[in-house]
Amino acid sequence: MAHYITFLCMVLVLLLQNSVLAEDGEVRSSCRTAPTDLVFILDGSYSVGPENFEIVKKWLVNITKNFDIGPKFIQVGVVQYSDYPVLEIPLGSYDSGEHLTAAVESILYLGGNTKTGKAIQFALDYLFAKSSRFLTKIAVVLTDGKSQDDVKDAAQAARDSKITLFAIGVGSETEDAELRAIANKPSSTYVFYVEDYIAISKIREVMKQKLCEESVCPTRIPVAARDERGFDILLGLDVNKKVKKRIQLSPKKIKGYEVTSKVDLSELTSNVFPEGLPPSYVFVSTQRFKVKKIWDLWRILTIDGRPQIAVTLNGVDKILLFTTTSVINGSQVVTFANPQVKTLFDEGWHQIRLLVTEQDVTLYIDDQQIENKPLHPVLGILINGQTQIGKYSGKEETVQFDVQKLRIYCDPEQNNRETACEIPGFCLNGPSDVGSTPAPCICPPGKPGLQGPKRWMDHEVRSSRPAWPTWRNPVSTKIIKIS
């Protein structure tokens, strides 16, 4: 009986996670639903082997289970390649995750040589070019060896067509320069390496997060040495136009805004977060205030005014509250009451940073980790309400406070790069993410390494398969020639 109840609870959670429309007709958005054309380009050469190819298929199923499949949401295509590319799953062939999973599981391993460049060009010509949807387009190339044809031209043609390319290298036979030539830049974001096929499960969650960042976070925020995907909430709420008075912080390049009670800093959530938020993100805000009441520094409301996500400052008890969605009862509130939280209420400049993941939320104040709290699984946000900053809790009245920064970074790794140098006197070398971006360091290459071992499969071996592009009929394993 207990197992049956547990099963029912799991089903309920899955139904809640996959719910796109709330009971009142509001739109629930997240990376599960963000319209995207997503194509996987899978190495099916001899070096992979049938057992490893089965591992790849399971990995692919686990990745795609995180998305709602259908013409209004995510469409998935699959190309397998060796000497020639095979269109295993055309974009838009399936309108449910169950049907897509069955199709992936039925893919047969090819065997042959490694022609990665031809496969990328094939995906561009026969999948992306035939899609009429004007939305995010992503290709993920997974290979375990050096290509026997050129990849640069095909990869560049894909990027020129606004396709984002990820490259995953498996094992020691992959070539770093080739993977970098395939993928978008920076390579630290778009290139992945794993030691063997069993290890690809280790990058499943990271890959899911990166795919979400591409579909949910289209804009970039300038930070030191690179641009980060995310949302500048001050920009999204037109604070620059609505707030007239500026504040000069000690470092001359840094300016803040003096928000008064006469200003309404509100905007439709659909305009600020049209596809919702990624599963993990970093919230960063730098502010000072004198108010001793309870107010929301930032909040996302439903259409009837209920908070879905909020960062609340309780000036009475001198604590910080974080509200987010929940699959259990709709919302959950986490309380940070560590004694160090009281420093936020001393009327000086402070930076609040929240690292939000699918499992927990961690509070940082002025670059110092304060507390970590667990979270229940969350839902996508409803986007038909409003996003607001500087409001008294439960009211529409604006709080008087000063703010310099209010952002969401979609890459959780930005938490390790972010500093509080915008605070006067905090850093000796000045702000880290304000002003001109320094040029990246370009270092001369070192001495070449030792010759690696040869692959077991001699490159002279040629597959008996035809050298022209093909696809498989989705309902059979018949190979069809493209004339």
Of 18-22, 26-30, 79-83, 118-122, the least confident: 18-22
Residue 379 lies in a domain: yes
Which residues on adjacent β-strands are paired with residue 293?
A: none
Same domain, 132 and 67: yes
Same domain, 203 and 268: no
Of 23-27, 165-169, 353-357, the least confident: 23-27
Look at residues 391, 417, 443 and tell me which one is the last residue of a structural domain: 417
Both ends of the chain: CA-CA distance in Å? 59
Encoding tokens for residue 274? 């049209």
Place of tokens 């043609």: 157
C-alpha–C-alpha distance, residues 444 and 259, integer Å: 49
Encoding tokens for residue 333? 């509130």
Same domain, 46 and 132: yes
Residue 53 pLDDT greater than 60, yes or no:
yes
Same domain, 68 and 141: yes
If one counts the domains in the chain, the total is 2
Q: What is the pLDDT of residue 452?
A: 45
Residue 17 pLDDT greater than 60, yes or no:
no
Residue 24 lies in a domain: no
Residue 68 pLDDT greater than 50, yes or no:
yes
Q: What is the pLDDT of residue 27?
A: 65
Phi, psi angles (nearest 5°) of residue 71: -65, -25
Q: In the sheet that 74-81 helps form, which strands lie side by side, from edge to edge?
A: 191-194, 163-170, 136-143, 36-43, 74-81, 85-89, 470-472, 479-481
Residue 448 pLDDT greater than 60, yes or no:
no
CATH number at residue 355: 2.60.120.200
Q: Residues of the chain with pLDDT > 90: what percent?
A: 68
C-alpha–C-alpha distance, residues 352 and 361, integer Å: 13
State the average pLDDT for the chain: 85
Of the candidates 224, 171, 146, 145, the one whose C-alpha atom is nearest the C-alpha of residue 427 is: 224
Same domain, 241 and 386: yes
Same domain, 376 and 280: yes
CATH number at residue 107: 3.40.50.410
Q: Name the most confidently modeled range: 65-74, 107-116, 414-423, 473-482.
A: 107-116
Look at residues 390, 417, 444 and tell me which one is the last residue of a structural domain: 417
Mean pLDDT of 30-47: 93
Residue 82 pLDDT greater than 80, yes or no:
yes
Same domain, 466 and 413: no
Of 124-138, 164-178, 264-278, the least confident: 124-138
Residue 441 lies in a domain: no
Q: What is the pLDDT of residue 437?
A: 33
Residue 180 lies in a domain: yes
C-alpha–C-alpha distance, residues 154 and 150, integer Å: 8
Q: What is the pLDDT of residue 167?
A: 98
Residue 309 pLDDT greater than 70, yes or no:
yes
Same domain, 207 and 229: no
Q: What is the pLDDT of residues 142-173, one digit of tens each?
A: 999 999 999 999 999 999 999 999 999 999 99
Domain that holds residue 345: 225-417
Q: What is the pLDDT of residue 252?
A: 61
Answer for the pair 210, 228: CB distance below 8 angstroms, yes or no: no
Of the candidates 272, 283, 282, the one whose C-alpha atom is nearest the C-alpha of residue 381 is: 272
Answer for the pair 472, 88: CB distance below 8 angstroms, yes or no: yes
Q: What is the pLDDT of residue 92?
A: 87
C-alpha–C-alpha distance, residues 279 and 207, integer Å: 12
Residue 177 lies in a domain: yes
Same domain, 56 and 194: yes
Radius of gyration of the chain (CA): 25
Q: What is the pLDDT of residues 375-394, one digit of tens each?
A: 999 999 999 999 999 999 99
Same domain, 471 and 392: no
Contacts of 483 (CB under 8 A, 6+ apart): none
Residue 21 lies in a domain: no
Same domain, 109 and 133: yes
Q: What is the pLDDT of residue 66?
A: 87
Same domain, 169 and 247: no
Phi, psi angles (nearest 5°) of residue 123: -60, -40
Mean pLDDT of 105-125: 97
Compute, in degrees rounded to 10, the torsion defined by CA atoms 17, 18, 20, 26.
-30
Residue 447 lies in a domain: no
Residue 192 lies in a domain: yes
Mean pLDDT of 208-231: 83
